[in-house]
Chain A
């Protein structure tokens, strides 16, 4: 078992034992099991998935949408610091879809590089939020 701590600016989102954690790093999605080698990695936009017990089915996994941050793995402790991590419960799917539409519209209307990048970031963010909301819905 590994101990996982997920910390955001607005507080601790997860603090407890887990069997398996799947994390989005800059080099791709990695899955951490117990006795993982020490690793410090930069996180990227993506989904953090937590399986609490070895026999838990896919449907009971917890998912969080995150955007950047740092992951530290050492001695069966996984510590993640990110700006925001929204669980499926905290995301309103229709709101996220509206945000995506708005972001796509902004991208199409973007005149300079900065606003284009900003719109693209918003699109990525919304896509991940929608993904997590869908994962959550499938659980039901």
Chain B
């Protein structure tokens, strides 16, 4: 009977695990919905920033601003967005794989890669890399990021770009395509670009005054645009993280169910074998007594 006791223990242990993974699945599902809604809400902001920049471009020389300055790339900064915790399927490893490929490519082109990581998993990985400068490490921003959370990153990268220490800035994030499809992607945020296709508003006047001066206004607008791009990347990554964790946990729950079924079958077989053996022993004993 020792076998059946051990089996019973294993079954109850797997059942406990399934309860936990099931709960994590449900939590991730609700967090994912929230992150998705947040990502949608900043869309208007991005659109306005783009159209304002496009309008500025018709009024003044936007491209002369330092944030639009395209240089030969010698140093490249990556903002790597990962999560604090694991158990989210391939969420972190996909991003880190993309990072690794980008770094190898940069080194072959004599570009010096520099990193800013968001999330503990990215920081752990980055510390092991050789020949890569780790500029800053931020923990993940949690489920409700605010504009204040990203301001330090924004200020750092704007300074670094304007002072020409860095010539190109990419964000590595997980693009949220649909609930079932997320892709590790890279978004080029600096040098900034003017997208003229977004102007769909016709203006009565083709002039405008600026306060305090055009440079300040362009600077402010470009900063808003870069900010909202980083913001969008973070929110999409967050939605992707929860979506992937949900899927991973669903697989884990399903797998736990399969294991429970197998173990229950094994347990029943063992129990029945035990009963059969006992019966055989009893009838054997009865036979022995008859003689």
Contact = CB atoms under 8 A, between A and B. Distances in A.
Contacts of A25: 211-212
A53 to B, nearest CB: 25
A79 B52 contact: yes
Interface string B206-228: 01111110001101110010011
A38 B209 contact: yes
Nearest to B41: A11
B45 A9 contact: yes
Nearest to A76: B204
A5 to B, nearest CB: 8
- The majority secondary structure among interface residues of chain A is strand
A12 B210 CA distance: 24
Contacts of B228: 9
Interface string A109-138: 000000000000000000000000000000
B222 to A, nearest CB: 10
Given A9-B147, A40-B52, A75-B204, A70 B211 contact: no
Contacts of B204: 74-75
B287 interface: no
A42 B217 contact: yes
Given A9-B147, A26-B216, A42-B212, A81 B45 contact: yes
A10 B227 CA distance: 13
A39 B38 CA distance: 31
Interface string B39-80: 001101100110010011001000000000000000000000
B203 A74 contact: yes
B203 A10 contact: no
Nearest to B45: A7
Contact of A81 (B41, B49, B59, B219): B49
Contacts of B208: 38-40, 74
Interface in A45-101: 68-70, 72, 74-75, 79, 81, 83-84
Nearest to B235: A9
A8 B209 contact: no
Contacts of A81: 45, 48-49, 52, 224
Interface residues of B, number: 32
A40 B205 contact: no
B238 to A, nearest CB: 14
B173 interface: no
B176 interface: no
Contacts of B44: 7, 11-12
Contacts of A26: 211-212, 216
Contacts of A27: 211-212
B245 to A, nearest CB: 24
A70 B41 CA distance: 18
B216 A39 contact: no
B45 A39 contact: no
B211 A39 contact: yes
A7 B48 CA distance: 8
A39 B42 contact: no
A70 B212 contact: no
Interface string A1-18: 000010111111000000
A21 to B, nearest CB: 15
Contact of A75 (B147, B203, B209): B203
B231 interface: yes
30 contacts: A7-B48, A8-B45, A8-B147, A9-B42, A9-B45, A10-B147, A25-B211, A25-B212, A38-B205, A38-B208, A39-B209, A40-B52, A40-B55, A40-B209, A40-B210, A40-B211, A41-B210, A41-B212, A42-B211, A42-B220, A68-B220, A69-B224, A70-B220, A70-B221, A70-B224, A74-B203, A74-B208, A81-B45, A83-B151, A84-B147
Lowest 10 CB-CB distances: which A-B pairs, in order?
A: A38-B208, A11-B41, A83-B147, A41-B211, A42-B220, A75-B204, A26-B212, A38-B205, A27-B211, A42-B216
